[in-house]
Structure formats: structure tokens, C-alpha cells
Amino acid sequence: MAIFVIFRAVFGYLFLVLMVRIVGRRPGKQLTPFEFVLIFYLGGLTLTGMVGDEASLTNAVTQILTVALCHYVLASLRYRFDVVAQVLDGTPLILLEHNEWRTDTMSRMRITDDDVMDMAREHKIKDLKGIDAAVLEAFGEITVVARKDDSK
């Protein structure tokens, strides 16, 4: 039935959004091969259930339109409501401040001091003492703010 095609598309989209949100956030600017496997595999598996035996162009167009509409609605809600934005994207998290690690955040987000130092080196910071603050951004990147006296 046509309505099931739409239900499957909505469920597939929302389920993937949830799964990627739960499994997805790791530090780094780009997707690593590890995450490529996750994203493509999840996408492929969801596709099987969404399409089923109905491989018609009509079916594909209907599901693409449904996913587009879902995405539009989610993007609108994300823009209007902070809580939706936080649920979908997460919140930036401070990893280091006042010369102290946020150990709880670090362990829960599975981030090591090496990950922070990797990013610090990109900013020509030589050691951890040269870091004023480090933040895990909502999109997964670690931002490092250099201490003024040590930055140059």
C-alpha cells in the first residue's frame, strides 16, 4: 500500500538520524574510514527495508519527497527550538579550562588528551600548557584556544 511506502521512508529517516546521533560523534574534521563504513552500511541496510520489493520510480520519487519533507520539518524545528537543535546536534562541550581537564566529559565522549594535543599541534601549540581552553564542538571537531603568552 502507498501509505506504507511513506511510513517506511519516515521511519527509515528518523531511525537513521537517531542512530547517527547516538553512534556518530567522534573527534575529527573529516570522516575516517571507520565512520565511512558505519554511515554507508547503516544507509544500505535501511534502504533494503525502505524499498522492499517495490523498486518502481514512483516509489523512489515518493520516498525521496517524503525524506525531503521530513528533513525540511526537522531543520525548521531545529531552527525554532533550541532543545531540538541540542537533541539533533548536541551541545559544545568544554574539555579543558583553567588548566584542568573535564575528565567526566572526556571519558564519556571517549576523547583522550592525545586527541586534544593533535589539534593543538595544528595551531602550532607545543604543549598542553599552551592551551587556554579546548572545546569539543557539536559537529565533532575539537577547537583549541591558545594561551596568549604561549601562542607565538
Site for another protein, rule CB under 8 A? 4, 7-8, 22, 52-53, 83, 86-87, 90-94, 97-98, 105, 108, 132-133, 135, 145
33 vs 44 by CB, closer to another protein: 44
Given a contact cutoff of 8 angstroms between Cβ atoms, the answer to whether 35 and 26 are in contact is yes
Provide, rounded to whole angstroms, the least separation between the CB of residue 8 and another protein.
Answer: 8
Instruction: Give the helix/strand (H/E) hosting 142.
Output: strand 142-146
We find the least distance from the C-beta atom of residue 106 to another protein, in angstroms, to be 13
What is the nearest approach in angstroms of another protein to the Cβ of residue 13? 15
Q: Is 16 in contact with 43 (CB distance < 8 Å)? A: yes
Distance (Å, whole) CA 55 – CA 84: 34
Nearer to another protein by Cβ, of 95 and 117: the residue is: 95
In terms of CB distance, is 7 or 72 closer to another protein?
7
Q: Provide DSSP, 9-33.
A: HHHHHHHHHHHHHHHH--S-SS--H
